[in-house]
Amino acid sequence: MKADPGQPEVTAYLHMSEVERRIVTTLTRKLMRLVLAALAITAPLSAMAQGESIGIVIMHGKGGSPTRLVADLARALEGKGYIVANLEMPWSGNRNYDVPVSKAEEEIEAAMAGLRGKGAKKVFVSGHSQGGAFALHMAGKLSVDGVIAIAPGGNVANRVFRENLGESVARARQLVAEGKGNEPARLEDYEGARGTYPVLAIPAAYITWFDAEGAMNMGRAARAANAQVPILWIVPKRERPALLKTNLPMFSTLPANPLTRLYQPDSDHLGAPSASAEEVVRWTREVASAPGPRR
């Protein structure tokens, strides 16, 4: 197709000297090389994002649900093309520790299998608050591409937990010893901003969640994490003082992994899931595109 001499750009070019035309041609070729180089750099990440589906399990915090504090995060990830399993866990306001830790582990494994069944090639497990603490626990038990602990809390090894729930745990153990472990009983739970409050729970399941050396001992979980599983540990800048005091030092106890990161969004505890959405996308894509096995 011939150039239209009526176009201003073409007219200007036709009036250039031979030297000026050579300069324009050289600059154009250099610009094209720069564009092609930029495309070569960004292509692997774009191909990963579009060609390898990422699945993610999301767990809410204590007394919460999938439709509350983690809902915006789930929607944001779905909007980016992620396959999302936004679960209601045993510590929700509806369930109140209706199953033991072992059953909750099975729920996570089933959700991961479901994500892979829907086409996810890379699978991550995430959680907020108590969900974040349980995600840390699962980092030592799962074959997973990465774990995201968002403002993790609910560390039952903490002195405050032992002081506030010691009698309730002892009562649950007594009920189990009396053969009443599977009968719902009025027990107690504790949450930093709320204090101690009653829950109707299954004693045999309840004691697995409040075992000071069990799944919800965050220090134990951090040390026991699989070194081949990278962890994104999120500590909001306006976190509750007690959690801020423990979470930052605890991050340093994780096994070394070149893809493990600490992220501090400008938010409080409750807003951390929403405030972390962009970083979760960035980090999961970084991990998913990294070469070599990590599990």
Digitized pLDDT (tens) for each residue of the chain, 295 residues in all:
444 445 554 454 455 566 555 654 555 455 445 434 443 334 334 434 445 899 999 999 999 999 999 999 999 999 999 999 999 999 999 999 999 999 999 999 999 999 999 999 999 999 999 999 999 999 999 999 999 999 999 999 999 999 999 999 999 999 999 999 999 999 999 998 889 999 999 999 999 999 999 999 999 999 999 999 999 999 999 999 999 999 999 999 999 999 999 999 999 999 999 999 999 999 999 999 998 655 5
pLDDT in tens, 5-18: 455 544 544 555 66
CA-angle at 184, arms to 182 and 186, nearest 5°: 135
In angstroms, rounded to a whole number, what is the distance separating the alpha carbons of residues 222 and 255?
8
3-state helix, strand, coil in the chain (%, to 5): 45, 15, 40
pLDDT tens-digit readout, 33-43: 543 444 333 43
Using CA atoms, how far residue 62 sits from 207, 211, 251, 279, in Å, is 16, 16, 21, 23
> What is the distance between the alpha carbons of residues 239 and 267, in angstroms, rounded to a whole number?
7
CA dist 65 → 110, 113, 214 (Å): 19, 21, 23
Q: Which residues pair with 126 in a beta bridge?
A: 58, 148
Q: List Cβ neighbours of 214 (8 Å cut-off, separation of 6 or more).
A: 101, 156, 208
Q: Whole-structure pTM over 0.85, yes or no? A: no
Distance CA 74, CA 78 (A): 6
